[in-house]
Every structure is written in structure tokens, then in C-alpha cells.
Structure 1
Amino acid sequence: MNRTVRLAKRPTGMPGPDTWTIAEEPMPVPGEGELLVEVKAISLDPAMRGWLNEGKSYIPPVGLGEVMRANGAGVVLESRAPGFAPGDTVMGGFGVQRYAVVASRHAEPIDLGVAPFERWLGVLGMPGMTAWFGLFDVGLLRDGETVVVSAAAGAVGGLVVQLARARGCPVVGIAGGEAKCRMVVERFGADACIDYKAGDVRARLAEALPQGIDVYFDNVGGGILEAAMTHLRRRARVVICGAISGYNDVASIRGPRNYLNLLIQRARMEGFVVFDYAPRFAEARAGIAAMLADGRVVAVEDVREGIDRFPETLTELYTGGNMGKLVLRP
């Protein structure tokens, strides 16, 4: 039997237990050109909240009654497609379930000799690609520039900190709580980390960075984005990766009131969607894998057990309950 998590209703605000239907279902059967995959690890990402909302976006919403969308990694149990055999390890959009049937073109081989399942969903997966292309292609980071990263203890932000440090850049993280800030400095190598729960972020950025910010990598939006924009330097770049502070209260989201500082500083703000860089993912993975191998990058994974814990575990992304990349083992 398969264990699945399906969308029962579209949530208003934070998804609750009634958002989901968790059930035992018959094992799916692959057709021609498809694979049956036993899912070993499921990626939990902040973008999941946006996928639950009806309306136009960069990707269609999850349909009512559908298995919740999620990236995953696992083992091929049965193959009806050339190029794949039972025992192969793969990753792809397998959904929140124990067993998935996918078209072979949507499954990508992975090497467990390079990294475990969880890491292929973290620094070598979508968060890693997001950090790499957001910082280098959108942020156009140059050696020695000053970088500030919000949600710096998260899957994307933590890698952005490390990639910037590897380029010899001064880096200041922003995170919630002493433990997270300690990890950002001690494990990821930031020069400093501002605890946004402990006081005025704008004033503390001024203390930490009197010279201003060249690249601000934003994962949270809201007041923290506004605070960072106050301190932009001439020709600064603001990278809009996400706005987790407003994902569960879309009606209250508003743009930064001090956006005219972009004009004053001749700066720019640009959003991006990592899927646009899919043809170049191999380039980023090779670079990150090399940094993992020589120790310039470390991976922090927060691994939970049990597919039935998906609803409560997902909410931790929005309440700050996780450290590093959040992964669920079914």
C-alpha cells in the first residue's frame, strides 16, 4: 500500500490539519516510459505555501485532491523506461507519498557516493541552485563586495552566506534566535549575524555595516527588506528570492516604503525563479560539490521521520522551528 498526503482544501493563513487528507492507497503501477520509485526523502520548502493558493503564478497551484507537490529522492523499484533499472537512485517531483510513479524524463539520476538523499534535496538540490544563481547571476556578486542575507540559517540563506564567503566577501546574516545566529557565524562563516527577534534590525545593520550593502539577498520581505534597503550602496543589487514573512497572510504584503532609495543609489531590485536556470543546474552542482569536497561549504539538514508528520512539520518553515534544510523521511 501507498501512504499519501493530498490537498483537501485551500488554507486561509497557516495550513492546518484539515488542509490535508492522509490515507492508505493501492500501490501505483508504472506504465510505458514510467518508473515506480520508493521515496526515501521529501523536501519541505517555503514555496510550498504559495503552491496551495489558487491564482496565476510561476507554476500552477496544487489541485484539490491531488498529492501535495514536493521534490523527493528515492530508489527505483520498477522501470518501464530505457536507461533506468531497479536499484537506481533518482530525484524528482515525487510528491508527499511513500511510492511515486513518474515519467522517466522527470527523474534525474543521483549518486549516493557523492552525497546522501537529504543532501541531494538541499545544497545539491533546488535550494542549492537557488542560492547559486540568485547570488551570482541575479546578484552579480563581485569579489570583496559586502553581502547581507536574510533567513541566513535556512537552506538557501545558509548556502548564500558560504558562497559569498568563498568569494572573499564580508557577509552579515539575519536570522531568528541566538542558536540560529550562532550557527550562521560558527558553521557558515558569516562575519556577524543579526537576531531580528532581539531588536531594531535597521540600527544593527548600521552598526555592523557602516560602509553599506552591495548585495542584499532577501528571503523574507516585510520590515527586514525595508531595513536592508535603507543601507544600500551605490549600484547595489537586491535579490528577491522569497518573502516568507508574508506567505500565510498574503493580504497584508506590501512593497518597501523606502523603494525610492533604489533611485537615489542607482540600485536595482530583481526577482527570479530558479526553474528558469534548469539548463545550467549541472554547472551549479559541480561547483557546489567541489566546495563540499574541500570543506568550503558545509551542509546542515534537519531530518524528521514519518509521512504523517508532514502537516505539523511544514508549519515549522513559517514559525522558525527548523535549522538548515528541512527534510522528511517517509
Structure 2
Amino acid sequence: MIITTRQHYELATTRRRCADGASGDGYVARRYVVSQGAGRWLVANGRQYLNFSSNDYLGLSQHPQIIRAWQQAATRFGVGSGGSGHISGYSVAHQALEEELAQWLGYPRALLFISGFAANQAVITALMKKNDRIVADRLSHASLLEAANQSPAQLRRFIHNDTRHLSRLLQSPCLGQKLVVTEGMYSMDGDSAPLAEIQHIAHKHHAWLLVDDAHGIGVTGDEGRGTCWQQGVKPELLVVTFGKGFGVSGAAVLCSESVADYLLQFARHLVYSTSMPPAQAQALSASLAVIRSDEGCERREKLAALVQRFRAGVNASRLRY
């Protein structure tokens, strides 16, 4: 039987709904309309809810200093960047944020992206070519695995945080560049990668290391510098995102001068996308200032205390998580 494209989409959606109804495991993605609030409290359908679903880890999305920075920059620059960074969309606000991030994390360069998904896709698709090999943690984010699958490079996945399996996958001959891909902190399980050991194995086999620290940056390490800093690791490619610890959105890739220059020429997500608004960049600079301050330290300590309190409560109640 031949089915149309529309029927194919409808059939796939129906199967997903049936699976959801049979198991109750939440296979169907849904969107819930929120009428007010993105912080501690949400208002939806006329009712107020305590928000346990946000990834605004430090509560900075509601910080008055950051909101004010966005408002002031919007008055100066407007609400949009007006173009790609390669044309007219790269402002002094973008430049300042990139320099601040590079200095903070100890890299020569930082490049801004509109999202973490775009940053991961851009780096992998631009850098990895035919005859190259990507060895990625099996639980890596969808943006990383999708980019690796779509690249001409060979993809191999290692068992989550299993460094012996990683080593075996790197041992076989490879004609091109090898890249190890992992996350710093995994959001679903809440565990961290053994980054020092992973980096040692990667370098032993002449591979580069890419770490996506979306869930560690701003939250762990000295001044919130993230999981890599906390474990004393400096990967060749560090991706940080701004929707979690920073409370805003967007991302940056930290790298060497030569890699940054290469990405500016060949990372299509960077070249052919409108830049984030300058107001967003200025708000992110304000967020970084809070993260690095005593207040940021206090917020991280409060978050850590809440995590411990939650774990203790769950363990006491014998709930599985």
C-alpha cells in the first residue's frame, strides 16, 4: 500500500499517541500555555503552581539587574540584531560578552550562537569530515548525536561514562581526525562525566575532546566556571549554554584562535543565522557578573542545599528516582 506524505505523518503521530496511552510513560510531547511567570511560580489555566519543571537553576531569569540590562540595551540597540554577525549583526555587546567569556573560562576565543543545539550542530558539522571518527557517550544530548549522525564522519557510541569502552573504540585505526564527545553534567541522571580520565584517554589516542557543559556552567566550580573547571580539565572544544545557570538563552563555543577563525568561515549555523539580539548579549554579561559575584556563590550554595534536601527526602520516602 502506498501512503501519502501527510498520511505518513498522521500515522507516526497516531502510533506515538497509542504508545503513550498504553504505557502512560509520556511519549507524546505536549506544550502547556503559561500566562504569567517563569520563576518560582507559574500561572496556567487561571491557577498558580509551584514550578518544579524549570531549568532556570539559579533563578536569574527574574533577576532585576539582568532584566534592567536587557531593557537598557533594547532602548539603545533595538529588539533585534538586524542580521548575521558577518554582515551587520555583531555589536559591541556581542564582542564584550565573547571577550568576558573567554577571559572567565581561560580560552583564547569564544563564539556566540543562538542556541546550544545550533552550537553543537555547527561545531561537529564544520569540523568533522569523511574518514574522521566521532566517539560519543551514548547518553549525549540529541543535538550532539544528530550532528554526528549527519556528518560524513564515522560515529561510534561508548557506554555511558565507561572509559574502558571509550578506549577500545579509539584504538582501532582511523585515517582522519578523532573527536571524543561527552557532556560535563548529565541532566537526566544528574551525574557527571569522569572528564580527567576521558581527556587522558582522548589525548593518548590523539583525539580532541568536546564537552557540552550546558548543565554545569554557572552552577558548579569556582565562580560557576562549570564541570570542566571543577575537574581541572580544559577540552579543545567547550560548549556552554545560557538557558540554565545563566537564566537567559543562547550558547557559546570556547576554543583556540585557529578553530574560531575556521568556524567563522565554515560554521553554517553561525554564518547564515541572524545573531542573538544585542540586548540579549548585554543581559548575558549582566548575568555573568551576578554568577561571578558573592551573590552568585550564595545562589549556588542554596541550590546545592536544596538538591541535598530533595535527595534526603526522596531516600527517606523510598521513592525511586
**TM-score, length-normalised on structure 1?**
0.34
Structure in which a larger fraction of residues adopt strand: 1
Q: Comparing both chains, which one has the higher relative contact order based on Cα–Cα distances under 8 Å and sequence gaps of 6 or more?
A: 2
Greater radius of gyration (CA): 2
